[in-house]
């Protein structure tokens, strides 16, 4: 019987998404191996790690087992659990082929043990990357639209602004006054450190509730202004 290793992965975002939990992936892979008469040697995991490249502890172990020819098949629940790039997918499965190792992906019903299976694997990997690219483009366009409308798109609220109930940025008049002073002092040759001292002397306080201004804070204000 063929020796198989399972590979499971979740990123931080995936952990809250139904159907891709580590336990779910393990159970699906175990059931598949029983159905296909494959001997499950080990299930290797990468928890809370993105698949943007192959530099993952679990992934590297799979590649090491393959290189040492200690397995005959690699099983994943879904193609994107192991690969995000078509190039990575094709290069890695070519190495598997070189060592006589099959690659199976349950969700896409992929099995590289045949010529037809390898063809569909190549096609599916390319389509999956294209779909991720389309989603990325749509997300970028949505963020740009929100910015154009003055809506906050994540991260800290910029100094000089507040966020209203609709998620729009509105000017904080007190902080806008500080920005104007900072720009004026910088324009007259004051150093970042001297600007900190001047603000403290005038009684202005940083947003975080401390009484101390730091040059790095002033630098961020100038950069965003």
**Annotated active-site positions, please?**
11
Query: Helix or strand or coil: residue 189?
Result: coil
* 70 contacts: CB under 8 Å, gap ≥ 6: 3, 41
* 46 contacts: CB under 8 Å, gap ≥ 6: 7, 8, 9, 56, 57, 58, 59
Radius of gyration of the chain (CA): 27
168 φ, ψ to 5°? -90, 145
Q: Which two tokens stand for residue 59?
A: 């992934």
162 φ, ψ to 5°? -125, 170
Q: How far is 172 from 153, CA to CA, in rounded Å? A: 18
CA-wise closest residue to 94 among 84, 124, 86: 86
* 157 contacts: CB under 8 Å, gap ≥ 6: 163, 169
* 183 contacts: CB under 8 Å, gap ≥ 6: 222, 225
């Amino acid at each position: 019987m063929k020796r198989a290793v399972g590979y499971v992965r979740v990123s931080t975002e995936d952990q809250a998404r139904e159907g891709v939990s580590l336990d779910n992936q393990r159970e699906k892979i175990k059931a598949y191996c029983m159905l296909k008469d494959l001997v499950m040697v080990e299930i290797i995991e990468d928890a809370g790690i993105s698949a943007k490249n192959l530099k993952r502890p679990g992934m590297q172990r799979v590649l090491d087992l393959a290189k040492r020819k200690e397995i005959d098949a690699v099983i994943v629940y879904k193609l994107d659990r192991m690969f995000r790039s078509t190039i990575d997918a094709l290069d890695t499965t070519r190495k598997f082929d070189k060592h006589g190792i099959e690659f199976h992906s349950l969700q896409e019903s992929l099995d590289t043990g045949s010529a037809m299976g390898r063809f569909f694997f190549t096609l599916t990997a390319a389509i999956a990357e294209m779909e991720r690219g389309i989603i990325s483009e749509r997300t970028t366009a949505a963020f740009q639209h929100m910015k154009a409308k003055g809506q906050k798109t994540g991260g800290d609220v910029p100094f000089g602004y507040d966020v209203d109930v609709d998620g729009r940025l509105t000017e904080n008049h007190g902080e806008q006054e500080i920005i104007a002073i900072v720009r004026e002092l910088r324009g007259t040759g004051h150093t970042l450190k001297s600007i900190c001292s001047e603000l403290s002397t005038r009684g202005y306080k940083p947003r975080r509730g401390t009484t101390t201004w730091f040059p790095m804070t002033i630098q961020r204000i100038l950069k965003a202004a």
